[in-house]
Amino acid sequence: MKAEVIQSLLEKAEEARKKSYSPYSRYPVGAALMAKDGTIYAGCNVENVSYGAALCAERNALGSAVADGQRDFTAIAIIGSHEDYTMPCGICRQVLSEFHVPLIICGNSSKDYRTYTLEELFPSSFRAEELKH
């Protein structure tokens, strides 16, 4: 993936992070998901006092993309608010694996990032084949 495309995804993730609703964790996260057709879908975390009802930035972006009819993706960029790289949680890894998102870009800014494949972060995901009788 070209550096300019990664940079664009990271910038969109940073913009989305600014819209985060995270009064409980105080850990705003933004994500930007690129569909194969080049469309970018942004998402931010939306927390809830019951914690379990919170929505992660990655699933927020993916939900918007799926609602728009997208099913094939190129990459997702995720940016948190601390100096460490923000990795997707286990639930987000499972949801991203449903759509075989090939590249995950984690950063603490649009200038500092690392790239991973989904298989590197989630080598033994639960797959649809396991539901076959």
Q: Smallest Cα–Cα separation from 15: which of 53, 43, 48?
A: 43
**Binding-site annotation, residues:** 45-51, 56, 89, 92
Using CA atoms, how far apart are residues 114 and 91, in angstroms rounded to an integer?
21
Is 4 an active-site residue? no
**Binding-site annotation, residues for substrate:** 45-51
Catalytic residue among 11, 58, 98, 120: 58
Q: Smallest Cα–Cα separation from 65: which of 89, 96, 27?
A: 96
**Binding-site annotation, residues for Zn(2+):** 56, 89, 92
Using CA atoms, how far apart are residues 50 and 52, in angstroms rounded to an integer?
6
Active site amino acids: 58
